[in-house]
Amino acid sequence: MTHESTAVGLASAYSNATTASGDWWRDAVIYQVYVRSFADSDGDGIGDLRGVRSRLPHLARLGVDAVWLTPFYVSPQADGGYDVADYRAVDPLFGDLADADELVRAAHELGLRVIVDVVPNHTSEQHPWFRAALAGEPGARERYLFRRGRGADGSLPPNDWESIFGGPAWTRVADGEWYLHLFAPEQPDLDWTHPEVTAEFDSVLRFWLDLGVDGFRIDVAHGMVKADGLPDIGRGAQATLIGTEPLPFFDQDGVHEIHRAWRRLLDSYEGARIGVAEAWAPSSERLALYVRPDELHQAFNFRFLNCPWDPGAMRTVIDESLSATTAVGAPTTWVLSNHDVVRHVTRYGGGAQGLARARAAAMLMLSLPGSAYLYQGEELGLPEVADLPPESRQDPAFRRGRRQQIPVPAVDPAPGPGPAAPGIIAPRPGEPTPPQSAPSPHSQPESGAGPQPHACCGPQTRAGAGPGPDPLTAPQAHAPTRPQAETGTGPQAQACCGPQTRAGAGPEAEPGAGPAPEPCTAPQAHAPTRTQAETGTGPQPQACCGPEAVTGAGPEAEMGGGAGGDPLTAPEADGQDGLRDGCRVPIPWAGAEPPYGFGPVGSWLPQPPEWAGLSVAAQTGDPHSTLELYRAALELRRAMPGLGAPEAGPSPDPRGMRWLPSPDGVLLFTRPGFACTLNTRPEPVELPAPGRPVLSSAPVQTDGRTVRLPPDSCTWWAF
């Protein structure tokens, strides 16, 4: 007997005990909205808060518990809003404060909680504090990390630290001092030993908590404290060390006191407001320190995201992650994709194989104890867009211009993020025109000015990268090919109980849209080799936050040898590749051609013509679609007591999970009343049926006693 449908027919008001209680975050499924690419309400080609609000019913119907919004604050957009000039105001690009308030209220009415980004490691160069620091206001530089340079004339950087995006992490201003920026020069690092910094962020958090947000995703949660004396590291290519070795600028013990103070602040509000750490640490045990009972509630588990399609590696990561968080009484947080890494359809090989594995991996993730994060569009099975034209790319690491010295102005600092003093602040480029149309005063002609997306994780080294041809214009493994374009979406979502209940429901439905086209095909690639570097294929060391690279716009770092040499040659330029735009292409909602309902006209990054079949409307009601698989999985996750929270249901294992013997290439574990099988092999595998199948990512054949698991598939079982 083969089970074929995806809708499980288990709609239920039941919610796991922790979700219904104040500990909702312990088993929550949280959906990341990359605001500029979700929905455009005003026709400028850029997503905004009103657009997000209009699409909240999709998220409620999908079955998630909360939405995480990427930054929408006032910003010059050097890094897609992760360079904040005003933490208490909405950038006009995305709306205004009233729009934010209405979005939060609308989400709450739908039963969705709202988490917003906070960026505490650094500000924008246009922040009033940094403007005051450059203008020479007494004491202003003490809020940042300004230092004298080394060498007889101070022309060498204060230490050997490198920016995550390549080159030194220091920029020299005209009076001779240098300031630290672990990311782009437009993002100066704050000095968290200064009491005004602590007080300011307490005030910022209270501002948004008072507006009603349910928590914060903390950008670079491991970066605010630096080792005493800012010691040298003694080696280059430092971006490749993040998350694998101790570094004097990341994961210092002092950050935990900041998070303890924030936990006390969060606990002072009603409604279980939470803090989520975007943190990198050398081990699962170090990462677990961020979620001790008196610190933050969650920390992203990037080891799971980076895990190859290998059952042994997966089991090791799962066991070590659960062990570390269980030891401190916290849930593990799982994630497969985000706005900084190649989408996992492509990471797992692309084409039919990549989609099959991505669907199976999603089911595996949603069956594990703890909380899960979904990145917008993964529920549609979107692949990476690997063939974006160079003129469209806006990742701040894509183009690297010649660095320049910052002049110290002889004018008083402006009171806010308004008009800039000459030589300090690049004007905002025209929107939504391509970045080359309005270069900053600081930029070279080839530099990528304009609104830039945040590129904060997954540093993939790229020695000697600089302005030049788009590496994705040449044929390569991940360029879209269409040999299966008319074959549908590949592996079919299968449900094993109950009638179809979703067909054509909801405003997104578009009957007769037909099967979805196959995503880009590509050979499997699980190691970050140079041949796949242009798309970041394979497990990548994640760099946690901030801009991906120097763009040439705004103040540029000096290498210490004066203004004559090109500082962007290898190995100094080792950093991130700057090709993360492919996962940020606006998602398709409905229609036969771009912008597929994203907005009235156009989109800031071009959408592929084959995405019509991957839209929400095209997949709604199709029992074989990836969207209906996600809807069914999230419905079952709520309905089955054995899923979700670690302590849900009785079990001899404190995590509620137990591994069982299985054939090579297969993972099999149980939770109370539930079993999960994952077949990672390229061929079917037979084994005794562990129960009654309730959901599968591909057709499952069983006679009740044995089961034939399809290749690259995941199946859920009830018993």
Contacts of 57 (CB under 8 A, 6+ apart): 110, 506, 507
Residues with Cβ within 8 Å of residue 659, at least 6 apart in sequence? 315, 667, 668, 669
- Within 10 angstroms of residue 412's Cβ, the number of other Cβ atoms is 12
Q: Which amino acid is at 75?
A: S
Question: Which of 29, 64, 30, 40 is closest to 588 using CA atoms?
Answer: 40
Residue listed under structure tokens 């936990």: 263
Tell me if residue 278 is catalytic: yes
Rounded to 5 degrees, φ, ψ at 708 are -110, 105
Local structure of 158: helix, strand or coil: coil
Q: Of residues 27, 40, 219, 572, which has the active-site annotation?
A: 219
Number of Cβ within a 10 Å radius of residue 170: 27
Element of type H or E holding 635: helix 626-639
By DSSP bridging, strand 494-495 and strand 692-696 are: antiparallel
Hey, CA dihedral for 614, 616, 617, 623, is it positive or negative? Answer: positive
From residue 30, alpha-carbon distances to 54, 114, 202, 359, 362 in Å are 18, 9, 25, 18, 13
- Residue 348 CA: distances (Å) to CA of 243, 536, 624, 666: 22, 12, 20, 17
From CA 403, how far away is CA 559, in angstroms rounded?
8
Please give the structure tokens belonging to residue 505: 């429901």
DSSP 71: P
> Pairing between strand 713-718 and 692-696?
antiparallel
Query: DSSP E strands: which ranges in 241-292?
Result: 274-277
Q: If you search the block for the tokens 């939405």, which residue do you land on?
A: 67
- My answer on whether omega of the bond before 595 falls inside 30° of 0, hence cis, is yes
Choice among 65, 189, 278, 635 that is catalytic: 278
Residue 333 dihedral angles phi and psi, to the nearest 5°? -115, 125
SS3 of 249-283: CECCCCHHHHHHHHHHHHHCCCCCCEEEECCCCCC
H or E segment to which residue 69 belongs: strand 66-69
* Interatomic CA distance for residues 262 and 209, integer angstroms: 12
> What is the sign, positive or negative, of the torsion defined by CA atoms of 518, 522, 523, 528?
negative
Instruction: Give dist(CA 632, CA 716) in Å, integer.
Output: 11
Q: What is the DSSP letter of 686?
A: E
Nearby residues of 140 by Cβ (< 8 Å), 6 or more positions away: 129, 132, 133, 413
For the chain, first and last CA: distance in Å? Answer: 18
Per-residue DSSP letter, 162: B
Rounded to an integer, what is the distance from CA 194 to the centroid of its chain? 30
| Catalytic positions, written as ranges | 219, 278
